[in-house]
Amino acid sequence: MMYALIMAGGRGARFWPRSRRAFPKQCVAIGGPDSLIRQTVDRLAPMISPEHILVITGPDMVDAIAAQLPDLPAENILVEPQGRNTAPCVGWGAVEVARRGGEDAVMMVLPADHVITAPEILRDSLAGAAAAAVETGALVTLGITPTHPETGYGYLELGDEAGQWAGQSLRVVSRFQEKPDATTAAQYVASGRHLWNAGMFVFTAGAVLSAFAAHLPRSAVALRRIAADPGSLAEAWGELEATSIDFGIMERVDNILTAPCDPGWSDVGSWSAAGALLPEDAGGRGETLRTLSIDAADNITYAPGKVVALIGVSGLAVVDADDALLVMDASRAQEVRDIVTMLETTGLPHLT
C-alpha cells in the first residue's frame, strides 16, 4: 500500500509579493496554469489515489491549500500546531500512514512547491524507490542528475550499485554533502559521483519511525504519544525536535539508497529560477496580459492580467500583486526575504 506525504508548510518568502502567509508559494501558478501544489498532486494521480495523499501545512495556510485541492478528503490535510522544520512533519506523517495503512505501508515524502517537467520519469523513479524500500528496509532518497555546478543545493555522494527494482537502478549513498562553494560544486559535477539532493524520500512508515527511535529518541517518544492519543498533538508537538529530516535522520542512518533520476526538476527557489519556467515575451520572459518592450531584454515579469511596458531596462525582475510591487535586479533574488523581514519589523506585517 502506498501513500504520499506532501510537505506544504513553507512560506516561500523569496516569492513575495505573490507568496504570503495566507497564500504561500505552493498556491502560486508557475510553470503551468495550475498552482504548484495542484501540479504536485496531479503528477501522482497515476500512482496514488487522493484518499492516500496527505498534505501537511500550517494553520495560516490551510484554507488556501484546501481550496487548491478540493478532491482531497478534509482529514487528509494535516495542520501543524506550529512550524518546527521538516523532521516533525515527516514523523507525524509516518504516524498517520502507519495508523491508516500499517507500518509496512510505503510513504513518499515530496515538497509541494517544485516543478517537474517529465512526471513519467519521476513516477518510474518513485516506483523503483518504493520497491527497494519494501524489499531492503532502506530509506531511499531521489537524487537529481546535476546539469551544472549549483551552489544552492546539497549533494549526495554515490557509493556502490545497490541493484535494480522495478526497472530502476539504485545506488548506495555514501555521504550527504552540504551546499558547496563554486569550486567544490564544479568538482562534484565533474566527478560523476554526485547528485543533487532534491528533498524527496521514500520509505516504509515503520522504517522511518525506527530511524526516529534510533536518532531522535525524544521525538520518537512524542510521536508514540501522538499515535496513542491523537488529541495530544498540540501538547506533544512542542516535544518534537525542531530539525530537518536531512540532518536529523537521513544523514545519520547507515542504510540509505538513492534512485538517480532526471525528471526535469526545479525547486523554483526564487523569482530568478521561476523566470526560466515562464514563456518568452517581448522583454525577456514573463506572464502578463501583454508585454510591450522598447530596447529592453533579459527581464522577468510576473503580472498576470496586466499590460506591462518595459523601456530601456535589462536584467530586472518585476512582480506585481494587488497591494505590492517588487522591482529588483534579478541577480539579487535571494534578498527578497530581507524585504519580508523589513515589512514585519516596520509596521506592515499584513503584507507578508
- How much is the pLDDT for 314? 98
Q: Mean of the pLDDT values across residues 339-348? A: 93
The Cα–Cα gap between 178 and 57 comes to 26
Q: Mean of the pLDDT values across residues 138-146? A: 97
Of 148, 252, 263, 259, nearest to 210 by C-alpha is 252
- How much is the pLDDT for 152? 87
- How much is the pLDDT for 31? 78
The Cα–Cα gap between 78 and 56 comes to 5
- How much is the pLDDT for 157? 97
The predicted-structure confidence for 71-80, as pLDDT tens digits, reads as follows 999 999 999 9
The predicted-structure confidence for 85-128, as pLDDT tens digits, reads as follows 999 999 999 999 999 999 999 999 999 999 999 999 999 999 99
All CATH 3.90.550.10 domain ranges in the chain, comma separated: 2-266
**What pLDDT band is residue 11 in, cutting at 50, 70 and 90?**
confident
Side chain identity at residue 57, one-letter code: T
Q: Mean of the pLDDT values across residues 201-230? A: 98
Spatial CB neighbours of 322, under 8 Å, sequence gap ≥ 6: none
Residue 99 in grid coordinates: 495508523
Q: What is the largest CA-CA distance in the chain?
A: 65
Q: What proportion of the chain, given as a percentage, has pLDDT over 70?
A: 100
The Cα–Cα gap between 108 and 119 comes to 15
Q: What's the pTM?
A: 0.93
The predicted-structure confidence for 307-326, as pLDDT tens digits, reads as follows 999 999 999 999 999 899 99
Q: What proportion of the chain, given as a percentage, has pLDDT over 90?
A: 95
The predicted-structure confidence for 255-306, as pLDDT tens digits, reads as follows 999 999 999 999 998 999 999 999 999 999 999 999 999 999 999 999 999 9
**CATH dotted code for 2-266:** 3.90.550.10
The predicted-structure confidence for 143-170, as pLDDT tens digits, reads as follows 999 999 999 899 999 999 999 999 999 9
- How much is the pLDDT for 30? 87
Beta carbons of 129 and 167 less than 8 angstroms apart: no
The predicted-structure confidence for 14-72, as pLDDT tens digits, reads as follows 999 999 988 999 999 987 889 999 999 999 999 999 999 999 999 999 999 999 999 99
